[in-house]
Amino acid sequence: MAPTLNPEAAPVLLETRGLSVNFNGFQALSDISLSIRQGELRVIIGPNGAGKTTFMDLITAKARPSAGQVLFEGQDITGKSAAEIARRYKIGRKFQGPNVFDNMTVAENIELAIAGYESLPQSLFFRASAAFRHRVTEILEQIELADYRDFMATDLSHGQRQWLEIGMVFAQDPKLIILDEPTSGMTADETKKTGEMIKKLKGEHTILVVEHDMDFVRQVADYVTVFNFGKLLVEGTLEAVQQNPEVQAVYLKEAD
């Protein structure tokens, strides 16, 4: 097992203060304050409709909070555009359900995701260097798709498409990696491989994962946050959280 980082030692990378959002009268999230330290792998769990995905939407500017702040490296990023959050603050997100460029090859998907050439002139006069091509191959090997580089993304299996999107997030070289249900629809074998992919990044990258699959959570997580009905229920190590009677009542029982 990778050495666990002392959560108190590293500086805080992402912090939310009193984050709330209201969709036409429905309080999807209320008063979420949590912080994630550099190098941490944090898993958010909670039953359906607990507001996990909404929380990620607020961080990546897919939705706007009705109250509260998102701080990244101490800077307030609430209200910034999605492109700016991806490019300037380097937060990469994998969406729920594979969200890739279907009628483009696997390699093209990864190439587009590699950061640093997002403006029009940059992309117009871009020429792939040997280092760039090497990086593409490296990522493809990381997500076990090296043999599939010339396939269209649409022709991959569901699990492989999930990996492809995970690879796209790696390619962005983000400071914070957000993975929304990375193993949904995967076979047990694929789920295990995904867990290994993510564990390899532990320590070097800061990762925030939302997940339903408890086997997967046990495999990767050491620090867990539980959401329920849009509120932060409890935080702690996986062992401590599993012991918590409140958590057992709302979530773990029905998931297992």
Partner 1 sequence: MPRLKKVRQLPLNRWIDLALFLFLLSFPTWQNTYWVYIMSGIMAYMIFALSLDLLWGYTGLMSMGHSVLFGSGGYMIGIASAWANQADWIKFDQLPWFLALLSSPLGAFLAALLLPGLIALFIGLFMFSGKIRGVFFSLITLALAGIAELFVINQSRYTHGDSGITVTSRTLFSNADSQRLTDQQFYFVVLAFLLGSYLLCLWLVNTRTGKVLQGIRENESRLTYLGYKPAAFKLFIFVLSGMMAGLAGMLFVRVQGSINHSSIGINLATLVLVWVAVGGRGNLTGALIGTLLLQFSETKLNSVFSGISADFAQYWKLVLGLLLLLIVFVIPRGLIGVLLDYQQSRQDRDRKAAIMQKEVNRHGANP
User: Is 134 near partner 1 (CB under 8 A)?
Assistant: no
Closest contact distance (angstroms) between CB of 144 and partner 1 is 11
User: Is 111 near partner 1 (CB under 8 A)?
Assistant: yes
Q: Which is nearer to partner 1, 115 or 249 (CB)?
A: 115
| Binding-site member from 23, 126, 157, 215 for partner 1 (CB under 8 A) | 126
User: Is 213 near partner 1 (CB under 8 A)?
Assistant: no
Q: Is the dihedral of CA 11, 35, 16, 91 positive or negative?
A: positive
Total residues found in the chain within this entry: 256
Q: Which is nearer to partner 1, 83 or 255 (CB)?
A: 83
Cα 70 from Cα 62, distance rounded (Å): 13
Q: Which helix (H) or strand (E) holds 198?
A: helix 188-201
Q: Which is nearer to partner 1, 72 or 148 (CB)?
A: 148
Residue 73, helix vs strand vs coil:
coil
Residues in region 44-103 near partner 1 by CB under 8 A? 60, 62, 82-84, 86-87, 92-93, 95, 99-103
Closest contact distance (angstroms) between CB of 225 and partner 1 is 23
Nearest C-alpha neighbor of 192 from the set 256, 144, 237: 144
Residue 235, helix vs strand vs coil:
strand
User: Is 188 near partner 1 (CB under 8 A)?
Assistant: no
* DSSP string for residues in 16-65: EEEEEEEETTEEEEEEEEEEEETT-EEEEE--TTSSHHHHHHHHTTSS--
Q: List contacts with partner 1 (CB under 8 A).
A: 60, 62, 82-84, 86-87, 92-93, 95, 99-104, 108, 111-113, 115, 117-120, 122-126, 147-148, 150-152, 155, 168, 172
